[in-house]
Structure 1
Amino acid sequence: MKLIQFIIICVLVFRCNNLKETAEKIEISEDKTFGELTFLIDGYAKNTLQKGNINSIALAVYKDGKTYQNYYGEIENGKKNTPNDSSLYEIASITKTFTGALISKAVLSGVISLDDDIRKYLGDDYKNLEFEGQPITIKHLLTHSLGLKSKTTKGLQTYYNRLKNGDENAEYTIQDLLEDLKNVEVVNKPGTKFMYNNIGPEILASILEKVNKKSFKTQIKELFSEIGMNNTFLNESEKFKANLVKGNRDGKPAMTDYCPIYGAAGGAISTLPDMAKYMQYLIESKNKPWVKEASRSLFEDKEDDENIGYLWQNIGVGEEEGYYYSKTGTSKGIQSGLLICPDSDYGIVVIINNVSESAFNDWANLFFTEIEADLIKYPKLNLASKLKHSFLRNSENTFKEFRELKTDTAKYFINLRSLNNFGYQLLNENKQKKAVDFFIHLTKEYPENANFYDSLAEAYFITEDYNNALNSYKKSLVLDPENENAKKYINKIEKLILEKS
């Protein structure tokens, strides 16, 4: 990418800074119970930041017509630059869902069919795009099941390598892709094996231009306008650089992602309010024909545990949440995720500006173990999370209140995993005595829970209180004779005690 002159940058900075003025604010509900829920969510986010693997978090939740969004942390440590409504994020592969939406509209209007051979739109120069008589179809492009030997083309890989090496003049166009497609190998029957790729969405964008007779970018803009996403842009990272959130990869500043061709596979940037609007639109418009079509399953690869349709992934039906579908996006420095549960009327957006294994694990735990668990049960509140805030002040009073409130099953539910996780959080924060105290209280409250005794034993072991650790592991083993972890540590502790005697 060529450098922009200083005067142009100044103009764009002024324009970008006005994004906040044009962005519609998401209405925050004043409902008291919903307020208690969002208080818990704030606590989850702040505790996640304290682990030190994530710089900042932007999140939004939707439940039963109510929406909440908030920002936490700093984009750059020590600079006090908390994200805001003008902050633009690279949402990477979530972009694919917009491409899928346009295809669903085209299918419903009859201009294309899911079973169309893609060579119908590419021409006659692609004899190679089939396997044993089975051609690659529109459906295969949507479901990452093209059957290609490689998930990319040689030319596209060369482009990525040039970018990685700092070549700002690297380019890769639709003409380059179409030429490369003449040489790819189809080694599996299309529609039988999932292999994630960025080729399919770009081919789909080219097909959309041909059948709708307008540019892909124009079609995307019209879709954004329909949804109300006025601050979401395609392949314009350089233009809005002043508001683009800086990402981090493994503790180092990450490069901006530049997507070639149309950007249909991952070139969108968006604000949190716009992502919240997208989430809300998909839930509240779940019966709209194109939304219904775009969110249905088209292909399941049981071997890879993938259920996919119109470029959405992780489609399924949960015992509590009902039908759900989701999409994640990972750029060079930004991790994002969007979960839609139309049957249970809730959705989640969580974006962080860190990409590393530890950051991803913290992001996933915040997303699915903490936030989603509470949204599924709402309007009931997670009593375990509610009382975690008071435990450090007075453990006895906290558990006294716990015993009083847990009988109110109309208002509260208890997530035992959440309780156990809090004990380990204390351990990870080097609050070992507090952790031991917490697990002791848990075993008193739930004397038949083998896992709580196992956790108490581990806390004792970490504090080198081997006798109590041994007794707790033995209690855990009595309650759960299949507890291999307890068996292993009982042998280990008995050897340690013998060596000390």
Structure 2
Amino acid sequence: MHRKFSLLFIILVLFNCKEESKELSETSLNPIEYLMVNNTNFVLEYPEINSVSIGVYKDGKTYTGYYGEIDKGKNNLPNDHSIFELASVTKTFTGIITAQAVLDGKLNLDDDIRNYLDDSYPNLEYKNRSIQIRDLLTHSSGIRRDFSEALLKMFSLNSSPEDKKNIVAYDREALLKDLKQYKLDTIPGTRYDYSPVIGPEILAIILEKVYHKSYSELLKEQILTKAKMNQTSLTLSPSEADFFLNGYDDEGQLVEPIVFPMTGAGAGLKSTIPDVLKYIEYLLETNNPVVKEMKKPLFTDEEEGMFGYFWQVNTDGEFMHNGGTNGSTNWVVILPKLNAGFTVMFNSNGDTSGMLINSIANRILDDIEIYPKKNIYFLIKDKIIHNTDEGIAFYKKVKREKSEDYNFQDASILNRIGYELLRKEQKENAIKVFKLLVSEFPDQGNPYDSLGEAYFLNEQYDLSLKNYKIALELNPENSNAKDMIEEINKIN
């Protein structure tokens, strides 16, 4: 199944021009369309974001949604033919080829990478520990992103034309020369330190050597052809270039795309939303031995998490990767237990874009987990903010009449709306929402904590104290409740 949305439809939903139009849109959309539309709304409220493109695979069906404008003021919506930079998601393709090489017996994860290089490289070990294949795959080789001045400037928005010229000229010979001179100061395999390009490029050299084929040939044979990804490539033809999206920084300035040196194994692929959905479907093949291999945890960092063959993995079997260049940012998330996956892409990048891409990815993930039910937040939030009494009555009506369609089991929904009211200085209304929250989730401590805070801000200290005590009773580890009880006792 393939769905598309128009720019006009999103504008109606986003700015809530007519309440009846919004209600109609909320109830008529299927759960996947509903989560795509509504999770895009909050992103497009930020002027830094030009467009949002989303693809979702769920139970054998695919859905696409395109919102906003590629170039502001031109009303040019992205579509199925729009080509994005996958950026660092390219690494996952390199990881899959490496997993195939392991299964084929071409190399082992514990191999010293110098076994596959044409020179001795005595500098590529530290305290008797050499760099292994697994270290390149998990960003724990000890080779930092400051490996090369030219490559360091690759991802800088302030790169001059001369810098860009040097980046393009940075070839395999230059890489190996810098590799020969690099001094490790960390034991390989002990610390995560993200390497945007060098690790994948070294792996590309190794893979080309063991297979006697170019990286681009391996990419096509082992992944693109098998997954039927005919709109994905490292280089664009003149006709394809017409569909390549302009990229912007957070200030709205048009930025030139990066021309990646060497093979592009770390960040060079370009693709479309439909092709990434084919990739997701390929990665969800439960009996594919290559997929099973490449999502095995190979390294764990206390702060960053677990990593497989470039993928970030978790104990639930989910794996994911994000990417970003000067003018684009994206996420690809695979959810095997839910037979689902999704991608979301912006044609912009910067601090705000990076924060928002993470936020929308997490929101989409949360909403896919409650499928086929819908997130009630989108239906009730504006009503409660606009008129809290009517909004609460509407919430109760929907719960009575459509509890099979919407998820009412998430306490964070009403909690979030209550705090939005507090931010707007609507303390009395926030108290009403938190009282509803407590009545809905009487056995949880956090609702009482939130109600206690609202009463405290409204200077109703006795009621605040009462609720903080209940919060502490339900959760003895609640340090905030302990502190607030002490604070209120001082006031009294």
TM range (shorter): 0.7 to 0.9
Asked if residue 263 in structure 1 is aligned to residue 264 in structure 2, the reply is yes
Separation in 1, partners of 2:286, 2:28: 25
Q: For the residues of structure 1 that align with 2:293 and 2:401, how far apart are their CA atoms?
A: 44
Equivalent in 332, 338, 346 of residue 326 of structure 2 = 332
Which of 342, 366, 384 is 1:373 aligned to?
A: 366
> How far is the alpha carbon of 1:187 from its aligned partner?
2.2
Give the equivalent residue in structure 1 for 2:471.
Answer: 480
Which of 143, 159, 179 lines up with 1:164 in the alignment? 159
Contact 1:448–1:479 under 8 Å retained in 2: no
3-state SS of 2:279 partner: helix
8 Å Cα contact 1:439-1:456 kept in structure 2: yes
Q: Deviations over 1:370-425 (max 9, x none)?
A: 221221232344444454476558414313224425875x9744211133224445
The match for 1:349 among 336, 343, 364 is 343
Report the Cα distance in structure 2 between the residues aligned to 1:459 and 1:53, rounded to whole angstroms. Answer: 33
1:187 aligns with 2:224: no
Query: Residue 53 of structure 2 corresponds to which residue in structure 1?
Result: 58
Give runs of aligned pairs for residues 81-480 of structure 1, distance below 5 A. 81-148=76-143, 151-154=146-149, 156-157=151-152, 164-167=159-162, 168-170=164-166, 171-197=169-195, 198-222=197-221, 223-236=223-236, 240-253=240-253, 254-283=255-284, 285-302=285-302, 304-313=303-312, 315-317=313-315, 322-368=316-362, 370-388=363-381, 391=384, 394-404=390-400, 412-425=407-420, 438-439=433-434, 441-446=436-441, 451-452=446-447, 455=450, 466-467=458-459, 470=461, 473-480=464-471
Structure-2 separation of matches of 1:98 and 1:371: 23
Deviations 1:348-381 (A, max 9, x none): 211123323333333222221x221221232344
One-letter identity of the residue aligned with 1:340: I
Tell me, yes or no, if the aligned pair for 1:143 and 1:309 is still in contact at 8 Å: yes
Pick closer, same or farther for the CA change 1:53–1:485 going to 2, 3 Å.
Answer: farther
CA RMSD of superposed structures (Å): 3.6
Q: Tell me how far 1:147 sits from its aligned partner.
A: 2.4
SS in 1 for 2:226: helix
Pair 261,243 (structure 1): closer, same or farther in 2 beyond 3 Å: same
Q: One-letter code of the match for 1:227?
A: A
| C-alpha contact (below 8 Å) 1:126/1:182 kept by paired residues | yes
Shift in CA distance, 241/431, structure 1 to aligned 2, threshold 3 Å = farther
Q: Which residue of 2 aligns with 1:10?
A: none
Q: Deviations over 1:8-65 (max 9, x none)?
A: xxxxxxxxxxxxxxxxx8479xxx9981343243112213322445322111222222
Q: What SS is found at the alignment partner of 1:211?
A: helix
Q: Residue 364 of structure 1 aligns to a residue in which SS?
A: helix
Normalising by structure 2, report the TM-score.
0.80
Contact 1:250 1:354 (8 Å CA) reproduced: yes
Cα shift readout 1:329-351 (whole Å, capped 9, x = no counterpart) = 01112221111121231212111
8 Å Cα contact 1:383-1:412 kept in structure 2: yes
Shift of 1:172: 0.4
Q: Residues of 2 paired with 1:133 and 1:426: CA distance?
A: 59
Task: Determine whether 1:77 maps to 2:78.
Answer: no
User: Cα offset for 1:267?
Assistant: 1.0
Query: Any conservation in 1 of the 2:411–2:441 contact (CA below 8 Å)?
Result: no
CA displacement, residues 141-194 of structure 1 (integer Å, 9 cap, x when unaligned): 111121236652345346667981222422200111011111011222222222
1:209 shift after superposition: 1.9
Question: For residues 242-296 of structure 1, what are the alpha-carbon distances to aligned partners after superposition, in whole Å with 9 as ceiling and x for unaligned?
Answer: 322233323232332222211111011111111111112211x132111211222
Change (3 A) 1:146 1:400: closer
Deviation at 1:228, TM superposition (A): 1.6
Distance in 2 of aligned mates of 1:133 and 1:277:
43
Q: 1:325 to 1:396 in 2, by over 3 A?
A: closer
1:45 to 34, 40, 47: 40
How far off is 1:90 after superposition?
A: 1.4
Contact 1:90–1:257, Cα closer than 8 Å, also in 2: no
Unaligned runs of 5+ in 2: 5-26, 473-477
Give the length in aligned residue pairs: 456
The change in CA–CA distance for 1:251 and 1:181 in structure 2 (over 3 A counts) is same
What fraction of aligned residue pairs are identical, expressed as a percent? 34
CA gap 1:305/1:414 in 2 versus in 1, 3 angstroms: same
